Chain A
């Protein structure tokens, strides 16, 4: 069973602060996706990373895929209240299967 561990589980910060959340596994993934889910809604895809060591930027969000394709991180610069939500990582394994982590619940206070 492939497991994805996300840390921290909960994070509460003030507007303007920087933060990093992590997604780790002992398994190798062919790709890894990050989603954000807001209360009462389904997850929304933010980014897909495919190549080991790949870095992608989406405005204030920076996503990195580990060199060995077993882990990933999401860094947010100058967080805003609109960034509040549940951040989920999902790894794709052989057989075209997605495995989701439990998520990091981020709260950005104004």
Chain B
């Protein structure tokens, strides 16, 4: 397996559910990112991890909780989400912070 993979590709969850998104990169990168992509809006950076340490948290609500157990894996734990959280959630990685990011295919999340 190469590149950046994300699972699941599609997720429908109720507002009271707890779920997790998974991202795995096979590129030997040391920085990983979570982005939110909504219709007609620029990609919104949510979290940045560099060398497994969270270095950026862009005022994201606490119902989103990231976890980076090692440099190859990144999780986004979700609980008590709102319908407006429905979006495409993209994971990316890079060799250095921000430089030439490589994206996964995304998880299409629908909150009902």
Contact = CB atoms under 8 A, between A and B. Distances in A.
B81 interface: no
Interface residues of A, number: 22
B42 A42 contact: no
Contact of A40 (B4, B97, B101, B105): B105
A98 B102 contact: no
Contacts of B98: 92, 96-98
Contact of A98 (B41, B45, B106): B45
B106 A92 contact: no
Contact of B43 (A45, A48, A88, A92): A88
Taking chain B's interface residues, is the majority helix, strand, or loop, or is none over half, making it mixed? loop
Given A42-B4, A42-B106, A102 B42 contact: yes
Interface string B65-76: 000000000000
B40 A33 contact: no
Given A42-B4, A100-B43, A102-B41, 20 more contacts: A4-B42, A33-B101, A40-B105, A40-B106, A41-B106, A42-B91, A43-B43, A44-B103, A48-B100, A88-B43, A90-B43, A96-B97, A97-B45, A97-B56, A97-B98, A98-B45, A98-B98, A99-B42, A102-B40, A102-B42
Interface of B: 4, 6, 40-43, 45, 56, 90-92, 96-106, 108
